[in-house]
Chains A and B, each alone.
Chain A
Amino acid sequence: MNKFRLTLYVTGHTPRSEKGIRNLQRICAEELQGTYEMTVIDVLEQPQLAEDQKILATPTLVKELPPPLRRVIGDLSDTEKVLLGLDIAAVVERNERKGK
């Protein structure tokens, strides 16, 4: 089973950041069921990491694993768009088929 490694870049502890984090937690719980590692990076605290990853805006969610590397931006309120944007939908479907 493929394990997802996801990193969310946010700016500070604002309601916008919190919303992005909550949405990601929800998506992980509902769609990825324990097969994920999730990291939240505050670009105010670790600006170099954001620079290295060429993060242009926050919230940005990066899927590092499995390939391909993909990113989405925004508040992550649309689960389907997050899954499609990260090219996860297909993987989830595959995993579900394997599980059956």
Chain B
Amino acid sequence: MSLAPKNQKDPSCDKEALLSLFAAMPDGIAVLDATGIVLFANDSAHRMFGGRQLLGTELGLPAMARESHAEVEVIDAAGDIARAELRAVTLDWLGQEATAVTLREVSERPAPEKQLALAGLVFESVREAIIVTRPDGVIVSVNPAFTTITGYSAEEALGNTPRLLTSGEHDRAFYEAMWASIAEQGFWQGEIVSRRKDGSLYPELLSISQVKDADGQVKYLIGIIFDLTQHKINQASLEEVRLQLQQSEKLREEIERRCLVADSTVLSVVGGMYGSAPLSRSARVVFEELVLRYGRTLELAVENLAVKAGNPVSDQLRALAEDLGYLQAGARDVAELHSETLTRKSKDAGAMKAKALLEEGRFLVLELMGNLLSFYRKNYARVPAAAHHVREPNTRAVHSRPKKEAT
């Protein structure tokens, strides 16, 4: 008894059947002549080359070892590039020697075994300690970072429970809340204090997550420990910056004191040109704008420091000093402007940046002060009364504001 129905043609002799087979093949198939010109290409090949007309174009003869394949990049009509595996066989094609090539798209996603290897690599190389426990808390796996952070070797940890690390710093209620969160949400994260093998305590950020199987049963708990010791040190240095900010207030006082012992022009500069109220109170909106401007200049100065950006910091300081001069600002205003700007800028900055702002700010405030002094010297030299003016109340209206010189 024949397996094929009698009324059906032998498909191997049917051209349409073969063409539909080629068209349906997921791999790109092309037949090349002896010079590498495409004689035939199936639908998948056309799709891979992004709708290019392949017939008659020169792909090139494959040149890799026999019985082997090569990884190539396929460029489609839009210039997009995809990876593919290229194989080749020689054949007789309608009486002439030809080469048939197949192109199979290679996904960029690693194969499962590679993914596992990758996961293993991540487990081994991350700086966070990873602890895997059974639902009953027994540790089944730890990574090298666990040993680095806690001091316990893998052998010491395996079979033990994370109670190994208990510091005694947290009460029963703390742990009850933690386990309640894990039971309800499958997750907990928080900052806790743990104990190293050597007995020392250290702060850590701990995340605990449940791993469930397909039936929803908890199989493992995974704890990830981020050592906060260094982070706390950074926080401490931020505290140091805050202390330095307080010192900048002292710097302000020092500037005032130094200015007081300078010449009489400077004397008048100290408290505002005419002994008026500080800008921060008399002209809050203007002062705010000055804070923003000075802040921007400060940022540019720090940027110059970091990347030699060549920002025109001095030009901006001169312009700022000029405007301060027109506002009849004094050393007190400059110092207030300086400390207000620094306080705001440092608030959102990291420890390193805050330090840079503070250090660069010291130079900036002196330059600004110098510019302001020059401004007053230049503009008041021809007004002796003003130059030797000693601060007195009710003299503000006597002198007009200096005119900007048209040079």
Contact = CB atoms under 8 A, between A and B. Distances in A.
Interface of A: 11, 16, 43-44, 47, 50-51, 54-62, 68, 70-78, 81-82, 84-85
Given A51-B79, A56-B49, A56-B57, A75 B64 contact: yes
5 contacts: A44-B81, A73-B61, A78-B64, A78-B65, A81-B61
A82 B63 contact: yes
Q: Which of A11, A55, A74 has the most CB of B within 10 A?
A: A74
A74 B68 CA distance: 11
Given A47-B79, A70-B60, A77-B68, 10 more contacts: A11-B81, A16-B73, A56-B52, A57-B59, A57-B60, A57-B73, A62-B60, A73-B36, A77-B65, A85-B63
Contacts, number: 98
Contacts of B62: 72-74, 81, 85
A62 B63 CA distance: 12
Contacts of B66: 78
B71 interface: yes
For chain B, which range describes its interface: under 10, 10 to 19, 20 to 34, or 35 or more residues?
20 to 34
Contacts of A58: 72-73, 75, 81
Interface of B: 35-36, 49, 52, 54, 57-66, 68, 70-75, 79, 81, 84, 86, 88
Q: Which of A57, A72, A76, A78 has the most CB of B within 10 A?
A: A57
Contact of B58 (A11, A71, A82): A71
A74 to B, nearest CB: 4
Given A56-B52, A72-B36, A85-B36, A11 B73 contact: yes
A60 B70 contact: no
A24 B194 CA distance: 59
